A and B are shown apart, each in its own frame.
Chain A
Amino acid sequence: MGGVWVWIEQQRGEAPRVSWEALGLARTLGDGLGQAVTALVFGTNATALGKEAIQRGADHAIVCEDATLADFRPDPYATLFSKLAKERQPAVILAGSTACGGDLMGSVAVDLEAGLIADAVSADLSDGAVRVTTPVYGGKLLARVLIPDGCPQMLTVRARVFPLPEPDAGRKGEIEAVSPALSEEEIATKVVVFEGPSGKVSLTDAAVVVAGGRGVGGPEGYEPLRELCEMLGAALGASRAAVDVGWIPYEHQIGQTGKVIAPDLYIACGISGAVQHLAGMRASKVIVAINQDPDAPIFKLAHYGIVGDLFEIVPALTRAFRNRRQ
């Protein structure tokens, strides 16, 4: 009975960074509650990831390395997770706030009739209850959220907010293998194809994001930004204005109706800073704004500002970073 559980997601046998960040928070909450931390890993490479979870702070791992769980699908994952949770009654359940994390936690919360908080950006303990801060209205406001009498208390954590726990090869713990809850015949959904963009960094995981708005002037205006991204290993973002006119696909959009991100460094190029854009990137640690208009609202949020032509400044930045590297 009791314990803090954390779900470690895997895609093609690799865990996203946010799963480890959630594990770090699980460790903190487990220590505060005086309870053990258990990592749950299903599918490809589950045993190895379970071992890594122990090295990164879990006390035990529960793994299920079955072919039905190779790709995430809500039904087989949630059915197994809920079965285990009903048997063992964890006090707190965490997962990274990803598409799959939301599918799994949402489903399990229904199975357990448990409270679920999405997108925690801070969490602490108050009288044994987890107290969480979460962005609302796309990050324009924050809410303090509480699950007072819910057992278990469930939450997903936002990427790049909680510290990444480093592995310690000396940590040991038990890895328990369990059987799947559903057979392939019982699962209606089949994953036909998964196309991952090769070698590109995902926007939510990227440490550095370079984004362009209306000021880039057209689809080809993103080229200098792409070169800077390549130089920095950064992901490319965009404002809604640029997406809506069709210069760049929606998957790059940052803001209230796009992705909400918190990189270490955000470089806004030709983005004036509409409130709905600012909501999506205000949690960035350092913000640089490059804009022709000295009165652009983005400068109110930026740490460093450059008034000038992005087509001169951005290539100069790429050169400067290249020089520094040599």
Chain B
Amino acid sequence: MRIVVCTKETPDTAARLEINPDGTVSWGDAPLVINPWDEYAVEEALLLKEQRGATACTVLGMGTEATKEALRSALAMGCDEAVLITDPALKGADTLVTSYALAQAIRKLDDVRLVIFGRITTDGGTGQTPVQVGRRLGWNILTFVSKIVDLDFTAGTITVERMLEGGKQICQSRLPAVISVMKGINEPRTPSFMALRKAQKMPISEWDAAALALDPAITAKVKWPEVFAPPPRQGECEMIEGATADEIAAKLVERLTAEKVV
């Protein structure tokens, strides 16, 4: 009864991003860290292992040497093993290709009952990968999970609360399933110094396209010819001043009425 957590590395969210002359994205000195949403996924997997009798937590990532940073963070939190999918052929993968490679890796691991993703990554940020991995595996898909209400590995049932735009939904489904979790589902643990050191020394398995028997005919459909900074805002900020709060408020309401936004 294995749980797989999928993760990747992203620039720290405090980073200021710039475009290099060659068109690539630069985040200066900011570190690459585990995608912040994935910490909730890892924590949820560890809680399920501790409380619901999952036998192993495997963390899975696709990328390059830099992805190991995210995998090691998950190991330091308490995952049992880490697998890196890495192959030059996967460069430029879109979510169709990424989901294909992840699904193949999940098929290769034995006895996987649940796959957990963070709801989205803070880089490409499509939120499509969890859905597409679920669809490729033919497993039940539960995205935007804000709470696991019940999970029974033996009976193969899962009940979750999902946070949708219009409100909260409670869903019952069956394992195996692929879920994506929201911030706030738990409080991710902070690894101890010893755990961090231990994680640095743990082996990380590396699987390439051949190991996963990837069909070279499945290629990226989406191209990203250009990344650019949003145009800077035109014009200055108009500071609104006045003798009293009511005077300031009246001036602002006048401006907003003229802008036709209220």
Residues of A within 8 A of B (CB): 11, 16, 71, 74-75, 78, 98-100, 102-103, 105-107, 109-111, 113-119, 135-150, 188-197, 202, 204-205, 207-208, 232, 249-251, 253, 256-258, 264-265, 274-276, 282, 285-286, 288-289, 299-309, 312-313, 315-317, 319-321, 324
Contact in complex: B135, A288 (CB < 8 Å) = no
Q: Does B229 contact A (CB under 8 A)?
A: yes
Give Cα A146 to B184, complex, Å. Answer: 34
Q: Does B78 contact A (CB under 8 A)?
A: no
- The B202-225 residues at the A interface (CB cut-off 8 A) are 218, 220-225
Contact in complex: B96, A136 (CB < 8 Å) = no
- CB neighbours of A117 from chain B (8 A): 126, 222
Give Cα A285 to B261, complex, Å. Answer: 8
Q: Does B36 contact A (CB under 8 A)?
A: yes
- CB neighbours of B256 from chain A (8 A): 265, 286, 288, 304
Contact in complex: A100, B126 (CB < 8 Å) = no
- CB neighbours of A288 from chain B (8 A): 252, 256
Chain B residue with the shortest CB-CB distance to A310: B245
Chain A residue with the shortest CB-CB distance to B130: A106
Q: Does B47 contact A (CB under 8 A)?
A: no
Given A142-B227, A321-B253, also A188-B140 (CB < 8 A): yes
List, sorted by A's number, 10 A–B pairs whose CB atoms are closer than 8 Å.
A106-B135, A135-B125, A142-B228, A144-B227, A257-B183, A276-B14, A289-B237, A304-B238, A308-B248, A313-B248
- CB neighbours of A75 from chain B (8 A): 140-141
Contact of B14 among A109, A143, A275, A324 (CB under 8 A): A275
- CB neighbours of B261 from chain A (8 A): 207-208, 264-265, 285-286
Contact of B94 among A11, A115, A253 (CB under 8 A): A115
Residues of B within 8 A of A (CB): 11, 13-17, 19, 25, 36-37, 94-96, 99, 122-128, 131-132, 134-136, 140-144, 159, 162-174, 182-184, 218, 220-230, 233, 235, 237-241, 244-246, 248-250, 252-253, 255-257, 259, 261-262
Contact in complex: A141, B221 (CB < 8 Å) = no
Chain B residue with the shortest CB-CB distance to A285: B261
Contact in complex: B165, A193 (CB < 8 Å) = no
- Give the Cβ gap from A211 to chain B, nearest Cβ, in Å: 15
- CB neighbours of B122 from chain A (8 A): 137-138, 256-257
- CB neighbours of B183 from chain A (8 A): 250, 253, 257-258
- CB neighbours of A150 from chain B (8 A): 221-222
Contact in complex: A145, B222 (CB < 8 Å) = yes
Contact in complex: A99, B171 (CB < 8 Å) = no
The interface centre, meaning the residue of B125, B224, B233 with most chain A CB atoms within 10 A of its CB, is B125
- CB neighbours of B229 from chain A (8 A): 141-142
Give Cα A109 to B221, complex, Å. Answer: 10
Give Cα A141 to B18, complex, Å. Answer: 8
- CB neighbours of A194 from chain B (8 A): 166-170
- CB neighbours of B255 from chain A (8 A): 304
Chain A residue with the shortest CB-CB distance to B136: A110
- CB neighbours of A188 from chain B (8 A): 140, 173-174
Chain B residue with the shortest CB-CB distance to A193: B170
Give Cα A100 to B171, complex, Å. Answer: 14
Chain A residue with the shortest CB-CB distance to B11: A137
Given A113-B96, A197-B167, also A192-B248 (CB < 8 A): no
Contact in complex: A312, B245 (CB < 8 Å) = yes
* A-B interface, 10 closest residue pairs, ranked by CB to CB distance from nearest: A115-B221, A106-B131, A196-B167, A118-B126, A316-B249, A250-B184, A316-B245, A320-B249, A265-B261, A312-B245
Give Cα A286 to B250, complex, Å. Answer: 17
Give Cα A178 to B222, complex, Å. Answer: 31
